Each structure stands twice: as C-alpha cells, then as structure tokens.
Chains A and B, each alone.
Chain A
Amino acid sequence: MSDASTPGDVEPSHDHEHHHEGPGYATPQAAIEEGEREELAYVMGLYVGTDVDAPDFVSVVDLDPDSDTYCEIVDRIELPNRGDELHHFGWNACSSSCHMDGLERRHLIVPGQRSSRIHVIDAQDRRNPELETVIEPEEVFEYDLSAPHTVHCIPDGEILISMLGDADGELPGGFLELNEDFEIEGRWEPPGEIEMNYDYWYQPRQNVMVSSEWAAPKTYYPGFDLEDVEEGNYGQRLHFWDWEAGTVEQTIDLGEEGLIPLEVRFLHTPESTHGFVGAALSSNIFHFWRDESAADGDGEYRAEKVIDFESREHDDWDMPVPALPTDILISMDDRYLFGSNWLHGEVWMYDISDPSNPRRADSLSVGGTFGEVQEVQGRELAAGPQMIQLSLDGERLYWTTSLFSSWDDQFYPEESERGSVMLKADVDPRKGTMELDEDFLVDWGECPAGPARAHEIRWPDGDCTSDVWQ
C-alpha cells in the first residue's frame, strides 16, 4: 500500500523537500498559492427516481467570469444507464501522490449510489471529458458490497471507495479497492470490521483513517423514516482505523447527540490529528482529535460536540424543524469550517483556529425552510444549501441543493419539478465574512431532458474535500 520502500523514492518529510513530479501540490499552502482560480466545475447531475427518460450525467460548469458561457452547463457526460443516482465522486490521484512521477490527476471515478455501477471518466480534456470504463454492479456484488459512496485515491495510484451495504443492500458495508487500471482489486479491509459506513478521510502521516456512518442502503434508499431512528437503524459512531493495516483501532459512539454522522474531514495539514464531523440528524458538529496522554500514554481519539444548531419552530410544520447540517468542509488553510444546514436554509463559517472552540464567523440565510433569500435572479430556490465546495484560496464558496433523490422528495418535493441550482458566496477570509453573489446562478431546471438534481462539486485541479497530503 505504501510506496515508501520503492528505490529512489524519498521518505515523506515534514518540510516536504521530497521531489514533486506527480499530481497535485506539495503542501496545502502550495495549493493556495499555486492553484489557479477555478474556471470549471464538475457537478453530479441526476434523474434517478423521476420519470425523465434519461441517464444521470456529469455536468461541466463554466465558472470563468470572463467567458461567454459563464454559469452555464457547457457539457454533459451522459452515462449508459438510467437509475444510477450519481452522488459523490473523486479523482484517481490527488496531492497524496504528488511524489509519484508519471501519475496524473486525470480520471474521475463516478459511482452510482443506487445502482452500484462505477464509471471511470477520462477528463484529460478538461472541457470535454469522456466515459472510459464501466464496472457493472454484478462485479461489485461479487465482493458482497453495494452502494458506493466516498472515493479517495490512495497514494500509490489505487482507489478506495466506501461501500454502504452488502450485495443485498443490508449491513455490513466495507471498502472496495480498485487498481490503477480501474479494475476491482478486492475488499480493502478484512470483512466485519464495521457494520455501517458512509464517508471517510485518511491522514497517512499519522497512519490513521476515520470513517462515519449513515445506515444500511435498504434503510436510507426509500427515504427517511422516523421508525428507523427509533429502531436504531441509523448510525452514530466514528471509527478510527490503522491506515496501513486496514483494521479498526477505536470506535467512538457519539450518542444521541451524534446521530447520522455524515461528512468527516481531517484538517489538511498532514501532521494534524484534528478533524470534524457533522451529525446531520442531531444537528451538531463534533470535533475529534488524538489525545496522546490518554490510555496510559498510548494515545486515543476523543470526540466532543462543539457546535449545536437548535431546531426552529415553523408555522406550517407540526414539530420543530432540525437544521440538518448535511455537509461540512475545511478551508485549505485550516482556518475555517464551512457547512450547510439543508433544512433551515443556511450556509455558515466558523473560525476553527482553536479547533476545540469554533467561533461563529458569519452565515447566510438562503433557501430551505427559513432562508431570507428564497429566489435568485427571479428563480425560486426550491431547496436548501447542501453539497458545498470552496475555492483553493478560500474566497469563493459554491453549493448545490439536492441531498438524495428520495429524501429531496420528502422535504422539498418541488425540487423534482424545478431542478437544482448552484449558488455562490464571496468569502473574505481576512474579515471572516460571506456575501451572496446574486449574479451567480447555475440552473439544472433548464436541462434538455427535463429538470435535474445537482449534487457534489469538484474542481479539475484539486479541492478542499478531496485532496490529502502524505
């Protein structure tokens, strides 16, 4: 798994003097300084669960303000099948492989959450990517896994995908490994290490990986049902893994205040053991870190609730409405934590200079159930802020509005008729403020086959939710 023994290779060092020939940037600071302004975005577009007779697609969005097609979907890579539910995706290589001569950040790995089909897209031509390979669901089911979620490359050119269920859509989930030719290598971990799975992030310099929990596919696929919460079918644990061995070293039960821990992020600084996870259903953000003095000096991870979003009363709702923070993100300089409260309709930023005491910097009330801004350029928003992505320099925050097709239908049924939008806020990292850019609007309601939903966002050259450093 590690290439550290390869002759001629240089051990990763704290001052990062190893040669930089591969993809990405040598350090997070280099990404900020050397990265160019994002001119394109890849965004998941989907029709699954609607009667629109078209497959899901990868949207290429023009983000260059000087371009004639600014804010337009300039290309759509249609996939061969309907029913995939494109959700999260990732690159074949990121900054974790920046020492790997010859490896390129070139292929997008695009799984179908519902179908378990895995697409490989060649994005060498950044404006006109092409579908290259498809791994069919049956090949995935052979490893008794289904419901692919988070894609990260691992530093030697291989790809690791968190899988939420077994071949029948029940527990346990696990991890599927692809080799550099995009073939299934096998299961990455010994089966049975975890029951539930969702997102994960690794910090190779600390030999640690952390994974979170949603539920069994058969539980969350049809929609959100309170009965499942009562029956304990939703997750509330974080798992800390030995990254080299692929085994769980420690599990932390976050309790009732940590129900449905979704997106999980370590700080970008590769030495750091601090990170955050958003517990969507309980609407809390937890800070986790390694306490070196714990366990009689052996060290142990700890987790503590550091942000608590209160439910709000709404005249048209019978019960107080939870905030539902469904996505979080850490700026490349590790100074700010951003997030989206999908039900309330809020994007927020907290100063995490002291990670155990996040300080609210600013927020925007937009979309959702309570947002002060309910339309942009005359376009009704129809849902709350959901997947977020930040420019490398931390000055532009973008977001889309779809969570998961069946959950969208429950909470924002109009979104299936109107489609999703992508919005943007201008961020001032020095002052810690955000301002909605009312000139920016990308509309999936206008797609040729009919209104589509939009989900995760990636930049062609690395972003705040996928790049890891060795």
Chain B
Amino acid sequence: MTSHDVTLEWPDGRTRTVEVDENETILEAAECDGSVLPYGCRTGACGTCSGRLLEVEGTRPPNSERAGDGDADVCAVDDAVAYRRLPRALKDRHRAAGYVLLCIASPRADCRIEVGSSVHSELVDNPWK
C-alpha cells in the first residue's frame, strides 16, 4: 500500500508528520497518531475538519492567499488528495484556495497542511462587516 508523508502544521507553530496510507483519510491517520484535529460530521458536509494545503511535494503552494481569491491552482489540490465522497462543505472558491476536508481526503502526494479550528473559521466571513 502506498503511503505519503503529511505534515500537519498548527497556528501555534507545532508540526507533526504522519504517514498516511492512500486508502485512509488524513483525519483517521492523525487520530491513530494521537493528534487532535477538529471534526463534526465526518461525511464531508460540515467543513469542521477543514485543513489548508500549504505545499505539495515541494512544489509551490496551490495559492498563497485565503479563500475568495480567483487565481488559484485547483490542479495542485487535486494532485494532492483524493476524496472518498463529494466534499460538499467546500465551495469552488474554497477548493481553489487549497482548503481540504480531512475527514474524507486521502493523500496522493507528500504534502504540508495547515490544521486547527481556525482554518474552518476562514471559510466564511461576517458579511456585514
């Protein structure tokens, strides 16, 4: 079974590299490793488990900006992970900006992913502010 090294990076600077099989999700592998990642539905509907792809196998990041940017490179995201089911919680703009649902995503390349609850809160802003 092919596996890939997925490096999880928290906002406080902590990092952890987990070896993830191609048939397991990044969330499952992180849990086996004892890492605490946020999640909710585990079906790809809620976005609670969102991570953000920072780098795929040493290539440039899919997009250095946050959600909402237009000039993104969706291909790099699609090269990095395969989904078990439809990632319903992510809109096109989120996927283009490199957001990944770790509860249903399995790696297809070594990658670095920003994790933690703050990633989920980037998906939508306060529209009145």
Contact = CB atoms under 8 A, between A and B. Distances in A.
The 9 nearest A-B residue pairs measured at CB: A169-B45, A114-B40, A223-B124, A221-B46, A222-B47, A218-B88, A409-B121, A53-B36, A226-B127
A169 B47 contact: no
B40 A48 contact: yes
Interface string B62-93: 00000000000000000000000110111100
A312 to B, nearest CB: 11
B128 A317 contact: yes
Nearest to A407: B124
A146 B46 CA distance: 12
Contacts, number: 114
Given A49-B120, A83-B41, 19 more contacts: A48-B40, A48-B48, A49-B117, A83-B42, A83-B48, A114-B40, A114-B41, A168-B43, A169-B41, A169-B45, A217-B45, A221-B40, A222-B123, A224-B124, A226-B127, A317-B129, A318-B128, A320-B128, A409-B121
Contact of A410 (B36, B85, B90, B126): B126
Interface string B96-129: 0000000000000000000011001101111111
Max chain A Cβ within 10 angstroms of own Cβ: one of B10, B45, B50, B90: B45
A222 B46 contact: yes
A51 B117 contact: yes
Nearest to B41: A114
Contact of A416 (B39, B43, B88, B117): B117
15 contacts: A49-B40, A49-B48, A51-B10, A51-B36, A51-B117, A114-B40, A115-B42, A168-B43, A168-B85, A218-B89, A222-B90, A225-B124, A319-B128, A406-B46, A411-B126
B52 to A, nearest CB: 14
A196 to B, nearest CB: 15
Nearest to A54: B36
Secondary structure at the A interface, as helix, strand, loop or mixed, is loop
Interface in A215-257: 217-218, 221-227
Size class of the B contact interface (CB-based, 8 Å):
20 to 34
A218 B48 contact: no
Size class of the A contact interface (CB-based, 8 Å):
35 or more
A335 interface: no
A82 B121 CA distance: 18
A339 B124 CA distance: 27
Contacts of A416: 117
Given A222-B47, A410-B124, A115 B40 contact: yes
Max chain A Cβ within 10 angstroms of own Cβ: one of B43, B46, B48, B124: B46
Contacts of A116: 41
